[in-house]
Chain A
Amino acid sequence: MKNSKVIMLICASLFFLCGTVWADDTVTEFRKRSSDRATEISESDIEAEIQFGEELAARILGRFRAYDNEKATRYINLIGKGLASYSNRPEIEFRFAILNTDSINAFAAPGGFIFITKGTLEMVENEAQLAGVLAHEIAHITEKHIVKELNIKGGDESPLAGFASILGGGTSETMRVALTQLVDKAGEILFEKGLKKEDELTSDKVALMTVTNAGYDPVAYKRLLQGIKEKEEGTEKTKIVSTTHPSYEDRIKAMEKIISREWLNELKYLLVKERFDEYINL
């Protein structure tokens, strides 16, 4: 009798635990959030991340070339840096550039380097949609998706320590070759293989929360993806993004769940169209 009571109590406790855990849908996020761990990150870890990011950013710029439009570039920097201030990585200086390609895409390199293509900007109708794209890329950096995908083992739990351990050697040829190989691998992820589907969906979720926190209509981001799906899915413009990202349908469905769960469609937040049209005239 006593045994059965004990078993019942344990079962009840497990049921209670499972209920609370499953209600907490963030645990279904693919990777454990780094901000939930207290692992110390040193300044040199961040410097190593930025150094790596600069190498990767130079390759992104080498592949697509920067779009020379000072007004538009300053504008996306204002929006991007403002959004980044709502993120959990104040140690990073985020920087934004427009890539001169009709391809619909955006990229993020560790260390805060973010790129949006001219093709994407041509699809964007307002500042809220632009904020969604930039917040998605910011999330890749704050959640350290590429760093984790590269799976570099550092001296401690911090995935950034891996960069420091590789770059710590400074000028030696071995270290330089190791860095180059690592940047090659990151380039393959960005241009060919893509990140894990779960990482892309996580970035969409974080982006929705970030743009809402900043005061933009969060549903606008979903509408942008719907617009691209309807007008450009299967065309040359979405060729790369379709191989590196989950389908628009999957992304839209996942976003709809968050919008519904967080009541985001009930918020009367703004799209900010006039200012967008004033600055983005490509």
Chain B
Amino acid sequence: MKKVILIITLLLIWSDPALAGTMYVKSFKARLLSIPSFKGKTVSTVGRGGAVEQLKRKGRWALVEHNGEKGWVSRYSISKRQPMKRVSRLKKSRVKRKARRRASAFISAAAARGLTDYDRTRKGEKGFAVDFDALEVMKSIEINEDEAVTFIAEGVGR
């Protein structure tokens, strides 16, 4: 009986479910390094969505295996979940913006009476100012991931 308790205890202690199992690369690529440090040599590179088997963790690093090659990867680059496709509210937002303008035109007639319910909820109970036009400008800047990654790579000499 005591042996059974001992074995169960040891199994519970040693089997950390967070360690073992398949992880997925979330960053656009992940370098597998020879040691758990950026000083290590690149053993292999795995692209986004690539499945790796996590074998061990050390600090911010995970030892993983991919296509028979083992290497250390930053834990911030991998996840237990497969990467999702990019989610965008751009089209909906434009539609909503038009609706907002219509609503604004509608409520402006009653503005003399003070803030309408619509304005009050937009600004919040504390009366924070809002600038949805500047937000639209912010959202209008289109730069794809490849362009941005290449820009950085050129700057840092990679």
Do A and B pair up? The answer is yes
Q: How many chain B residues touch the partner (CB < 8 A)?
A: 66
**A13, B9: Cβ atoms under 8 Å?**
yes
**B125, A263: Cβ atoms under 8 Å?**
no
Query: At the interface, yes or no: B155 with Cβ under 8 Å from chain A?
Result: yes
Q: Interface-forming stretch among B63-71, B106-114, B140-148?
A: B140-148
CB-defined contacts of B137 to chain A, threshold 8 Å: 66
A69 to chain B, nearest CB (A): 12
Query: From B35, which residue of chain A is reached at the shortest CB distance?
Result: A263
CB-defined contacts of B105 to chain A, threshold 8 Å: none
Q: Given contacts A81-B148, A87-B76, A91-B85, are A10 and B138 in contact (CB under 8 A)?
A: no
Query: At the interface, yes or no: B87 with Cβ under 8 Å from chain A?
Result: yes
**A74, B158: Cβ atoms under 8 Å?**
no
B127 to chain A, nearest CB (A): 10
A: interface residue count bin: 35 or more
Contact with A43, one of B75, B80, B87, B93 (Cβ below 8 angstroms): B87
CB-defined contacts of B77 to chain A, threshold 8 Å: 86, 88, 213
Query: From B139, which residue of chain A is reached at the shortest CB distance?
Result: A95
| B125-158 at interface with A (beta carbon < 8 Å) | 125-126, 128-132, 134-135, 137-139, 141, 143, 145, 147-149, 151-153, 155-158
**A266, B39: Cβ atoms under 8 Å?**
yes
The residue in B9, B38, B77, B92 that gathers the most chain A C-beta atoms within 10 A of its C-beta is B38
Where chain A touches its partner, the secondary structure class is helix
Q: Interface-forming stretch among A174-182, A227-235, A238-246?
A: A174-182
Query: At the interface, yes or no: B104 with Cβ under 8 Å from chain A?
Result: no
Q: Once the chains are docked, how many angstroms separate the CA of A61 from the CA of B137?
A: 11
Query: At the interface, yes or no: B84 with Cβ under 8 Å from chain A?
Result: yes
Query: From B37, which residue of chain A is reached at the shortest CB distance?
Result: A263
Q: Once the chains are docked, how many angstroms separate the CA of A36 from the CA of B54?
A: 12
Q: Chain A: residues with CB nearer than 8 A to chain B? A: 2-3, 6, 9-10, 13-14, 16-17, 23-26, 33, 35-41, 43, 46-47, 50-51, 54, 57-59, 61-63, 65-66, 73-74, 77-93, 95-97, 113, 127, 142, 173, 176-177, 180-181, 183-184, 187-188, 205-206, 209-210, 212-216, 261-264, 266-267, 269-270, 272, 275
Q: Chain B: residues with CB nearer than 8 A to chain A? A: 2, 5-6, 9-10, 13-14, 18, 26-28, 31, 37-39, 48, 57-60, 74-81, 83-89, 92-93, 117, 121-122, 124-126, 128-132, 134-135, 137-139, 141, 143, 145, 147-149, 151-153, 155-158
List 8 A-B residue pairs with CB atoms under 8 Å apart, sorted by A's residue number.
A25-B60, A41-B84, A61-B135, A91-B85, A176-B121, A180-B124, A214-B156, A216-B156
